[in-house]
Amino acid sequence: MTQTKKNNPDELLIGLVSISDRASSGVYEDQGIPALRDWFAAALSTPWSMETRLIPDERAEIEKTLIELVDQVKCDLVLTTGGTGPARRDVTPEATLAVATKEMPGFGEQMRQISLQFVPTAILSRQVAVIRETSDHAALIMNLPGQPKSIKETLEGLKDADGKPVVSGIFAAVPYCIDLIGGPYIETNESVCKAFRPKSAIRKK
């Protein structure tokens, strides 16, 4: 597969990994990657590109893919969809933790808080987020839900009828996290998702 190359150092390179036995074998069409592509097209106001993978629920394959996207492709952010429940074939969190340098538990906690606004079974989700570091690169890896509606809610949070945030989405914290691990400076379209940084970390335009 042809690998995406950054056009400039400030471009965010995103790895999108859909993990599904049936979608990867062609039983049905994957929905996770198209949903993420559409969301980033609306949410990001700075340059970005993506590298995609569609793979089965196999722990060794997941680990191999995550390592490739961070170590070789040099993605700054890697998002997975699928494989985070309690079923026997759900091994995405285990694979993610296996390639981690640091755990980032706040992301998983907030993802479950968002989903609990809709369904009590959100507590069954085992989504995690981690940092993977090499000698010259680091990336944030996060497990997301598989359904497009849930992906959108998880990333941008929930708003009331007036557009005011009710529950914060996880992506608000992602740009500053990428700053801290040495990645590109990301800016967002505030109507979709407002990135939060301490005042000292905000670049003057």
Measured distance CA(16)–CA(32) in Å, rounded: 9
What's the pLDDT at 36? Answer: 95
Beta carbons within 10 angstroms of residue 155's beta carbon: 25
Which H or E element spans position 100? Answer: none
Place of tokens 């993506």: 50
* pLDDT reading at 6 higher than 80: no
User: 12-201 has which fold?
Assistant: Molybdenum Cofactor Biosythetic Enzyme; Chain A (3.40.980)
What's the pLDDT at 165? Answer: 78
* pLDDT reading at 1 higher than 60: no
Choose the weakest-confidence range: 24-38, 98-112, 143-157.
Answer: 24-38
What's the pLDDT at 9? Answer: 78
* pLDDT reading at 25 higher than 90: no
Q: Which residue, 79, 107, 100, is CA-closest to 15?
A: 79
Mean pLDDT over 180-193 rounds to: 95
Q: Which residue, 140, 169, 131, 168, is CA-closest to 39?
A: 169
What's the pLDDT at 3? Answer: 55
Mean pLDDT over 59-81 rounds to: 98
The whole-chain average pLDDT of the chain stands at 92
Measured distance CA(31)–CA(122) in Å, rounded: 20
What's the pLDDT at 27? Answer: 62
What percentage of the chain has pLDDT greater than the value 70? Answer: 94
Three-class SS state of 70 = helix
Measured distance CA(119)–CA(36) in Å, rounded: 22
pLDDT in tens, 89-127: 999 999 999 999 999 999 999 999 999 998 999 999 999
Does the reported pTM lie above 0.75? yes
